[in-house]
Amino acid sequence: MLYVKLMAMPWYNGDFPPSYKNQPVKLRKKAVEIANALLEEGVDEGIAIATGLKRAREFFKKRVKDSK
């Protein structure tokens, strides 16, 4: 029996997961960038979405902290 792992489609140009809808634009763009990188590594779509948002928040939180 042949098993094929289905690849999730990457997000781009305003096409993003619904959970990113109400996020600030900068945060959303960074989250999409991170989630797309995770998809390329073979991470499941749901995990990529959640991790992308979490890491994007951490990224901007660290930038604010470093600028003080």
How far, in Å, CA of 34 to CA of 68, rounded? 25
Per DSSP, helices labelled H in 1-68 are: 25-40, 45-66
Can you give the pLDDT at residue 4?
45
pLDDT for 38-47, tens place per residue?
Answer: 999 999 999 9
Would the pLDDT of 3 be above 50? Answer: no
Backbone angles phi, psi at 31, to 5 degrees: -60, -40
Backbone angles phi, psi at 24, to 5 degrees: -60, 150
Of 19-23, 25-29, 62-66, the one with minimum mean pLDDT is 62-66
pTM exceeding the 0.75 threshold for the entire prediction:
yes
Residue type, 55: R
SS3 15: strand
Can you give the pLDDT at residue 8?
63
How far, in Å, CA of 38 to CA of 24, rounded? 21
